[in-house]
Structure 1
Amino acid sequence: MTTTDRRIVWLLIAYTLMLALLPLVLNEQAFQWTFSEVGPFEQLSIAGWLGTAVIVLLRIRPLRARLGLRLVVPGVCRARGRLAQAVHRRKLPEEQLLP
């Protein structure tokens, strides 16, 4: 295991502990909003998936740097634009939030 791998493992352990402690720290209303469709975890997960895809394409399955960037950057920009449009157009009623 490399130093980077160890850092990633410690980061994942810290993130898991933070998630486990959130129900104890937040009140019910704040907890429901945090994990709802419009809350930060749901909205930031999109960026997380896009970032993971970039890491997989450029690091785990390395393409030549130029080819990889030519494929990834336009795709990420298009995905971000479509995401912004979807978020802007969608309005969620209260009953679609987590109970």
Structure 2
Amino acid sequence: MTPLHQEHATHGHAHGQDCGHAAVPHGDHTDYAHDGHMHREHSGHWDECESADHITHGSHTHQHGQDCGHSAVTHGDHLDYVHDGHRHAAHDGHWDDH
């Protein structure tokens, strides 16, 4: 997955424990769901945490939805579900890794 390094220069809010935004474990860092997108701390600033690639999660048989047991976070025009340390989103009849 190739992340985009897009600094969120005007981000005045400091995310952290009890900041009010969903914290999503993502590899070696934590993303925070904020206003429909994901932020991560990086070298003293906040980045938009988005992938530039389309990555299908081919072996995903679990169907996410209301009451599936996984946290749902708003991401743009859809919901991502936090599952096993990454986010899944429904896309054209399959699940993508975000």
For the aligned pair, the TM-score class normalised by the smaller chain equals under 0.3
Q: Which has the higher strand share?
A: 2
> TM-score, normalising length from structure 1?
0.25
> TM-score, normalising length from structure 2?
0.25
Select the structure of larger CA radius of gyration: 1
